[in-house]
Chains A and B, each alone.
Chain A
Amino acid sequence: EAGVTQFPSHSVIEKGQTVTLRCDPISGHDNLYWYRRVMGKEIKFLLHFVKESKQDESGMPNNRFLAERTGGTYSTLKVQPAELEDSGVYFCASSQETSGSVQETQYFGPGTRLLVL
């Protein structure tokens, strides 16, 4: 079974440009998460999709970040316009259906390394 995949693996862009990251979750997983690790800091939650709906977007830093999950399959995270502080590693994770307040195991992708110059 294929794991969580992310594309691209690396992206180097200039400040002010737009970048779109893609995540393909494990097949059949309803839940999809985006996390980010800024250099020297901990991995931080950005948002959580259940199928195509945003369940929790409390970690999104500002309105330059737009996440979508059309059709409840893959997800994209767009940063527009990118700023220097957006540099970091963006991880996607997925899990099966949520069961009330039971924590489901999240499976992580390899991450997209974003560098904004």
Chain B
Amino acid sequence: QKEVEQDPGPLSVPEGAIVSLNCTYSNSAFQYFMWYRQYSRKGPELLMYTYSSGNKEDGRFTAQVDKSSKYISLFIRDSQPSDSATYLCAMSDGFQKLVFGTGTRLLVSP
């Protein structure tokens, strides 16, 4: 069993839709949770960083962590075609090594 499970998609939505991306994990030692965005042929770019459980909002993006359920989410409001990318969840126990999900490919159509 993988430590982090993430649906690979693709997830296709119309412009303006609310997008929900999710990951589940099995390692209860994970304390830090990140969402990276990766455009084609580019490296992952950090979008959101959360410590422990709770919500964090940054513009159109909201990250949620539920440690009791070992479940994290990323919501994108008013999605734009420029949001089309692969979204990777990543997590760690604080000792720097990141454990990634496979990534979800998001397509936002105009």
Contact = CB atoms under 8 A, between A and B. Distances in A.
Interface residues of A, number: 30
- What is the interface of chain B mostly: helix, strand, loop, or mixed? loop
Contact of B43 (A48, A56, A95, A109): A109
B44 A56 contact: no
Contacts of A105: 46, 49
Given A43-B88, A91-B43, A110-B41, A31 B100 contact: no
Given A42-B103, A59-B97, A101-B94, A111 B43 contact: yes
Interface residues of B, number: 28
B46 to A, nearest CB: 6
A108 B95 contact: no
B100 A43 contact: yes
B96 A107 contact: no
Contacts of A95: 96
Contact of A102 (B44, B46, B94, B103): B94
Interface string B9-38: 000000000000000000000011000100
Interface of A: 4, 31, 33, 35, 41-45, 48, 55-56, 58-59, 91, 93, 95, 98, 100-111
